[in-house]
Amino acid sequence: MSVSDAAALTAALCVALSNLIAPAAIRHFGPVVFNCWRLSAALLALLLLTTLRGAWTMFSLADLAALVISSVVGIVIGDSAIYAAMQRLGPRRAAVLYATNAPFAATLGFLFLGEKLPTLKVVGIALVVVGVWIAIAYRENNSVGHWEEIRGRPIVGAAFGLTGGFSAALAAFIARPVMAAGVDPIAAASVRGAVGLLGLALLARLQGAPPVELAEARMLTRAALSGILGMAAGMTLVLFALAMRPTGIVTTLASTTPVLLLPLLLVSRKRPAPQAWFGAVLTVAGIAALADLF
């Protein structure tokens, strides 16, 4: 397994840990305001690291423009779309639709970046995607409740979910040439975080989100930890991996978060259904194919 593959998988683990921390804070602040808080914490950490390392001098105007567009597409549009899908279809169905980002990314890389993957890698991507879908569908026993109710027209929710998945893939596709040119991943993540925060703050204002006057320290801490793990560490690791590996492989490995959540759920005394573990086996087989472990 290469360093870049390990980085992409570590990014998925960071997002998994972030997802365990986040739900209470999301309910407390609401999704848009929560996203602003967590991006603020992530951005502070990234700016500090970038400044200490003196990596700002590596940017060109073209690199900066690409990272700005990548952030708008991936964070502002993509995150907003997937949250909209969650509100209409529930978290589980939305996660299944979002997992399409892996095949979308592989297709974009093949069509426009000339990233031709061997048959074994294509099979690996397929195994991971199917395994992740199964793991999501059967993640917890008896977990279907009011959170999973369909609200409004299902086709609208499905459109939002697919938009979220495609936006994530397109954001990685746009960032891939920049990272392959040698841009520092922490500096790149700082730019994406700053643009994303600005866009989400503007979106929150347009939506009329109420200001947070008395935010509980405990909830702010949750939001900050979620941001540092999921956005600062996770995004930086994905950008680092994109510097060395094809878009489809990196995106697929980074999308294994739902499978990595399964053993973490056991710690919280939630028992995934047996089918979820079958999905995990398929995902591990796919990872092995992608990471040249066969």
Spatial contact of 152 and 93, defined as CB atoms under 8 Å apart:
no
Q: Average model confidence (pLDDT) for the chain? A: 87
pLDDT tens by residue, 196-210: 999 988 887 776 665
pLDDT of residue 92: 76
pLDDT tens by residue, 264-276: 776 666 777 888 8
Helix H or strand E encompassing 160: helix 154-180
171 has pLDDT over 90: yes
Collapsing DSSP to helix, strand or coil, 199 comes out as helix
Average the pLDDT over 19-32 and give the result.
80
Q: Is 47 left (phi over 0), alpha (psi -120 to 50) or beta?
A: alpha
Highest mean pLDDT among 80-84, 117-121, 147-151: 117-121
Collapsing DSSP to helix, strand or coil, 257 comes out as helix
42 has pLDDT over 80: yes
At 52, the pLDDT band (50, 70, 90 cuts) reads confident
4 vs 152, residue with greater confidence: 4
- Round to whole Å and give the CA distance between 96 and 164: 11
122 vs 148, residue with greater confidence: 122
142 vs 289, residue with greater confidence: 289
Locus of tokens 């939630």: 270
Domain ranges of the chain: 3-290
Spatial contact of 24 and 215, defined as CB atoms under 8 Å apart:
no
DSSP code per residue over 44-105: HHHHHHHHHHT-GGG--HHHHHHHHHHHIIIIIIIIHHHHHHHHHH-HHHHHHHHTTHHHHH
- Round to whole Å and give the CA distance between 117 and 109: 10
The number of C-alpha atoms within 13 Å of 171 and in the hemisphere containing its C-beta is 29
At 287, the pLDDT band (50, 70, 90 cuts) reads very high
Residues in Cβ contact with 27 at an 8 Å cutoff, skipping those fewer than 6 apart = none
Residue 213 class from Cβ within 10 Å (0-12 exposed, 13-18 middle, 19+ buried)?
Answer: exposed
Percent of the chain with pLDDT over 90: 56
User: For the stretch 243-270, what's the b/e string if a residue is b when 16 or more beta carbons lie within 10 angstroms of its beta carbon?
Assistant: bebbbbbbbbbbbbbbbbbbeebeeeee
Q: What is the pTM of this model?
A: 0.89
